[in-house]
């Protein structure tokens, strides 16, 4: 049984009015899981508590709903990987000038550190 079949079986049992192909249900479920993750991150920061295991579970929940939502739009698996890569390329092109400035600044810092290091 794959992730899609497993989720469909669980959804039918737990939420009979919805399905793992209902984009409205999946989008709201995804938003709920992201909210839970954000709350845990807040508590980790504010209260200095280790919620790492819970956070990993929430990230898994988010991934499940994101994968199911992607399937609704026929962009799961390799198609999704390709879309993510294309999006990152667009971001690089959009911010190329700023990224180049940062890379130049970084190279200056690296050169300054080289000169500042004592030689052996």
* Parent domain of 111: 77-120
CA angle 94, 98, 100 (to 5 degrees): 105
Structural domain count, the chain: 2
Q: Is the pLDDT of residue 80 over 70?
A: yes
- Residues 70, 84, single domain; the answer is no
d(CA 3, CA 7) in angstroms, rounded, equals 6
Share of the chain above pLDDT 90, in %: 48
Residue-averaged pLDDT of the chain: 84
Domain boundary among 36, 57, 74: 74
- Residues 42, 82, single domain; the answer is no
Q: Is the pLDDT of residue 83 over 90?
A: yes
Q: Is the pLDDT of residue 28 over 80?
A: yes
- Residues 14, 62, single domain; the answer is yes
- Residues 87, 43, single domain; the answer is no
Which own/partner pairs from 61-66 qualify as long-range (CB within 8 Å, at least 24 positions apart)? 61/33, 61/36, 62/30, 62/33, 62/34, 62/37, 64/3, 64/7, 65/26, 65/29, 65/30, 65/33, 66/30
């Amino acid at each position: 049984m794959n992730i899609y079949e497993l989720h469909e079986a669980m959804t039918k049992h737990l939420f009979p009015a919805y399905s793992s192909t209902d984009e409205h249900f999946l989008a709201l479920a995804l938003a709920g899981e992201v909210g839970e993750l954000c709350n845990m991150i807040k508590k980790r920061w504010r209260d200095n508590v280790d919620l790492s295991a819970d956070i990993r579970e929430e990230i898994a929940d988010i991934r499940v709903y994101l994968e199911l939502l992607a399937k609704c739009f026929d962009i799961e698996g390799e198609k999704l990987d390709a879309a993510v890569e294309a999006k990152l390329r667009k971001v690089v092109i959009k911010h190329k000038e700023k990224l180049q400035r940062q890379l130049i600044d970084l190279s200056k810092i690296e050169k300054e550190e080289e000169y500042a290091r004592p030689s052996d």
